[in-house]
Amino acid sequence: MDFSAAFHQTSVWMFRLAIVGAAIGIGYIVMTRQDDAPTTPRGSIALPADDGVTGCQPIGYTESGKLVYSMDCEQVPAAGAAK
């Protein structure tokens, strides 16, 4: 077998392997595709709704139960307004 025939056979088999690899990759992506993320958080603590005054929503709670707001909030609502 001369060099050109060996090169041809190698390139044919490498092309076939690339096709099989692409098919396996596409199958993997299709089978492991995630659905859209849920719109509500899965935690047991529901965040309060926007108070409509400042436009700032709390992003969580501290360990002591106080609300935590984003650093972008310029005016934090009063403590009684968030409940």
The pLDDT assigned to 60 comes to 86
The pLDDT assigned to 80 comes to 57
CB of 35 within 8 A of CB of 24? no
Q: What is the pTM of this model?
A: 0.39
φ/ψ (deg, to 5) at 52: 80, -5
The helix (run of H) or strand (run of E) holding residue 4 is helix 3-31
The pLDDT assigned to 43 comes to 58
Q: In a structure prediction context, what are the per-residue pLDDT tens digits for the chain, which is 83 residues long?
A: 688 999 999 999 999 999 999 999 999 999 988 776 556 555 556 655 555 555 678 888 888 888 888 888 877 777 655 44
